[in-house]
Amino acid sequence: MRMRVDVITTTDWLAPVIWEGTFDREALGKYYRKQNITVGLVVFAVGSLTDQYLDPFLRSASKFFMPGYKVIFYVMVDRFLQLPEMDYDPRHSFQIHLIGEERWWNNYDLMRMKLLGEHIQDHIRHEVDFLFSMSANLVFQSEFGVETLSMSVAQLHAWWYFRKTGDLPYERRPMSAAYIPFGLGDFYYAGTIVGGMPLRVLDLTQEYMKGVVLDAENGLNSTYEKYLNKYFFLNKPTKLLSPEYSWDPTFHTLRQVRSMKIAQYPIDSL
């Protein structure tokens, strides 16, 4: 692993934090090409997300996501979809899964995680070695490669990474399943990207569902991102992606952000 002195490159539990300049893509490529891996990428797009974001997501992902490797794109949509015009890589395949629109009216994140878990159990775990689930409002700007692969991958939140730990917006109500006490917590993770081996991503979806159900029984609810942060507080990720991998281009670009891998655009409404 290469060194950078201006950012955190290793966590207290010795997981690497991936920034531009901290990895050797050529060496990693030699290793992973021998493994003959397949990587999956799941994206959910319903309602206005489909019209506004899905085409740029798919076009940019087909160009920059794991170039040179076998990729299966799992596109979860609430209507029949025509894939955008783009240069298709023969190593890429696309699975379009139609999901009933009525299933989304109550809680978008809950249904998204429920369906992700179902698809991993039903078929995805047999089809890919590594899996990422990403928000539709992302546009890849440069290569998102094998440097991101690990057993359990979390995305550092671009805004909160540069804030003090005491200011992080964890769930602070002790009765909630997402509760993290003041004085505890490592980083604030973004919900835009999660990844890892399929069974680890499945575990995340199942623990999230348990937390939501438990809170509902107690008359509580929290946000997807807060449940996600509680999960990674208890189950430390084995690799962290720096804010470069999900950077809001409306932010002032800090000197630590040498290369914006993915641009994250604000969602007007779901």
pTM: 0.95
- The whole-number pLDDT of residue 240 equals 98
Structure tokens at 20: 């531009």
Residue range 223-239, pLDDT digits in tens:
999 999 999 999 999 99
User: Does position 108 have pLDDT exceeding 80, yes or no?
Assistant: yes
User: 147, 171, 225, 244: which is the annotated catalytic residue?
Assistant: 225
What average pLDDT does the chain have? Answer: 92
User: Does position 270 have pLDDT exceeding 70, yes or no?
Assistant: no
Assess contact for 244 and 20: CB atoms under 8 A: yes
Q: What stretches of the chain adopt beta strand conformation (E)? A: 17-18, 38-45, 70-77, 92-98, 130-134, 138-140, 152-156, 189-196, 239-241, 262-264
In the three-class reduction of DSSP (H, G, I as helix; E, B as strand; rest coil), residue 27 is classed as helix
Whether 26 sits among the annotated catalytic residues: the reply is no
Q: Which residue has the higher pLDDT, 261 or 165?
A: 261
Q: pLDDT category, 107, cuts 50, 70, 90?
A: confident
User: Does position 74 have pLDDT exceeding 50, yes or no?
Assistant: yes
User: Does position 269 have pLDDT exceeding 60, yes or no?
Assistant: no
Annotated binding site: 44-46, 157, 225, 248
Q: Which residue has the higher pLDDT, 149 or 104?
A: 149
The secondary element (H helix, E strand) that includes residue 208 is helix 198-217
